Copies of this chain bind each other. A is one copy, B any other.
Amino acid sequence: MTTSTPSAVLQQLNWRYATKRFDPTRQIHAEAWAALEQALVLAPSSFGLQPWKFLVVDTPALRQQLRAASWNQSQVTDASRYVVLTGLRTTTVADIDRFLQRQCDVRGATMESLAGYRKMLVDFIAQGWASKDLAGWNARQVYIALGQLMASAAMLGVDTCPMEGIDAGAYDRVLGLEGTPYATLCGCALGYRAADDKYATAPKVRFSTAQVVEHR
């Protein structure tokens, strides 16, 4: 096993914070970055549908344009990596079939053998509790991936800053997402904190455990 100890996990989760200033000279090592991409790929989602696409923005000019659409926050250009997390604008029968086909490819099942499961999924997106807001349902799944990404980064000692204060419509334009099935939901900057980021040492503001965790 390659598990961590409770105290190690706790220490890394306390170590992480929403990094405001990244050190633009420090890059995430290729092996660590590959693991972080897999944290996205392997993220759990409802029914395993993976209603997402993750855009890693490497081009400096694109980063500049995204920064302009992010209240000019320096994380967008200064972090080693910048990921834009997008979600499906809706879920269609074609999305379900694409997922089931993948299941056939990976597990050697046949579409015929998955017919009952397919009907359940098709009925769910048409009539289930999430059917009135499939975009919102998909967005929640993307945020699971965001949570897994940030927690995994913390374990690796990689700093992150989730970016929700962005102009998602402008991101869609810059990244060519208009008219595609995917819409920008949020960003995440990843890299290493600058030595002068005063937020790094500020006490973490969390409600007490008793306020947010109740036993029943």
Contact = CB atoms under 8 A, between A and B. Distances in A.
Interface string A32-75: 10110111111110101010111111110010000000000000
A195 interface: no
A212 B41 contact: yes
Interface-central residue, A38, A39, A148, by most chain B CB under 10 Å: A148
A55 B213 CA distance: 6
A203 interface: yes
A32 B6 CA distance: 5
A139 B141 contact: no
Contact of A148 (B102, B151, B202, B212): B151
B214 A6 contact: no
A13 B1 contact: no
A126 interface: no
Contact of A50 (B39, B133, B156, B206): B206
A6 B18 contact: no
Contacts of A129: 168
Interface of A: 1-14, 16, 18, 29, 31-32, 34-35, 37-44, 46, 48, 50, 52-59, 62, 99, 102-103, 106-107, 129, 133, 136, 139-141, 143-152, 155-157, 162, 164, 168, 175, 202-207, 209, 212-216
Given A5-B156, A6-B31, 9 more contacts: A9-B35, A41-B207, A55-B215, A99-B205, A102-B205, A102-B206, A140-B143, A143-B143, A144-B147
